[in-house]
Amino acid sequence: MSERIYVFKLFERFWHWAQAALIIFLMLTAFDIHGTYTIFGFEKAVAYHTIAAWTLIGLWVFAIFWHFTTGEWKQYIPTTEKVVAMMNYYLFGIFKNAPHPFRLTTLRKHNPLQRLAYLFILVCVGPLLWITGGLYLFYDKWPAWGLGNLPLEWVATGHTIGAFMMLAFLIAHVYLTTAGHTPTAHIKAMITGWEEVD
């Protein structure tokens, strides 16, 4: 028998989907700016990318506030417990219909691999994108900030590295949503808040 538990609160779901849409839109415009393809054209792509970036920053302000006031930030504290078990599950168990080694609760809604992945995004990819992106946004202020000699190439290359990492994460992330109790269990949970568990 399966049971249902409430894992994602309303704000959290809003945050997730708004962020998802913004990040996908940022990627779409990003590779337009990068010269990979032309959808909006450089000028519009830059304008849209900038608006989306500022919107995302605004969203984060609320998300950070929410995480600290609700204590939900603790969900991202890394743990080594069951990491090997999780990797074994994804590499072997999942094909043998073995039981999921992690049983989520409202207090531990991310499995150990998720925690590590999200923390990596938060600590490595995020700051790389924020710092380089922030510098990009304030390109005209560099001389005033004493950064007149900072090569744009470094900033641009750093931002591009971050973008590729984020894109790879996005692909894996979307795929792993199908690895729940049923292929759509995780997605349903992210929409309704309720996750079916074994």
Partner 1 sequence: MEARYIKATLALCCAAWLAATGPVLAEEAKPEAKPVKLTTTADHTKFKQLQKTFDSGPEVTKACLECHTEAAGQIHRTKHWKWEFLNPETKQTLGKKTILNNFCISIASNYASCTSCHVGYGWKDANFDFAKQENVDCLACHDTTGNYKKPPGFAGNPVTKDTEFPPGSGKIIKGIDLAKIAQKVGKSSRDTCGACHFNGGGGDGVKHGDMDSSLAAPTKDVDVHMDAEGLDFTCSTCHKTSSHDVAGSRYTPTAKDNKGVQVRGKAGSGNPATCVACHDNAPHKSVARLNQHATRIACQTCHIPTYARGGIATKMTWDWSTAGKRDKDGKHIILKDAKGRITYESRKGDFTLAENVKPEYAWFNGNVQFTLLSDKIEKTGQRTQINKMGGSPTDGKSMIWPMKVFRGSQPYDPVNKTLITPHTAGNDDTGFWKNLDWDKAIPVGMKDSGAPYSGKFDFIKTEMSWPITHMVAPKDKALGCVECHAKEGRLAGIQGVYLPARDNNKLVDTAGWAIVLLTLLGVIGHGALRIVTSRKH
Residues that bind partner 1 (CB under 8 A): 33-35, 41-43, 46, 90, 94-97, 139-143, 151-153, 156-157, 160-161, 163-165, 167-168, 171-172, 175-176, 178
Q: For residues 22 and 49, is the Cβ–Cβ distance under 8 A?
A: no
Q: Chain-centre distance of CA 56, in angstroms?
A: 12
In the complex, least distance from residue 136 CB atom to partner 1, rounded to whole angstroms: 9
Site of tokens 């302000």: 61
| Nearer of residues 45 and 63 to partner 1, judged by Cβ | 45
Q: For residues 16 and 10, is the Cβ–Cβ distance under 8 A?
A: no
Site of tokens 């641009």: 156
In the complex, least distance from residue 137 CB atom to partner 1, rounded to whole angstroms: 9
| Nearer of residues 26 and 63 to partner 1, judged by Cβ | 26
Phi, psi of 38, deg, nearest 5: -125, 115
In the complex, least distance from residue 174 CB atom to partner 1, rounded to whole angstroms: 8
Q: 33: how many CB neighbours lie within 10 A of its CB? A: 21
Integer Cα distance of 60 and 44 in angstroms: 24
In the complex, least distance from residue 110 CB atom to partner 1, rounded to whole angstroms: 19
| Nearer of residues 59 and 87 to partner 1, judged by Cβ | 87
Say how many CA atoms lie within 13 Å of 87 toward its Cβ: 6
Distinct helix (H) and strand (E) counts, the chain: 7, 2
| Nearer of residues 13 and 177 to partner 1, judged by Cβ | 177
In the complex, least distance from residue 188 CB atom to partner 1, rounded to whole angstroms: 18
Specify the 3-state DSSP secondary structure of 12: helix
| Nearer of residues 90 and 120 to partner 1, judged by Cβ | 90
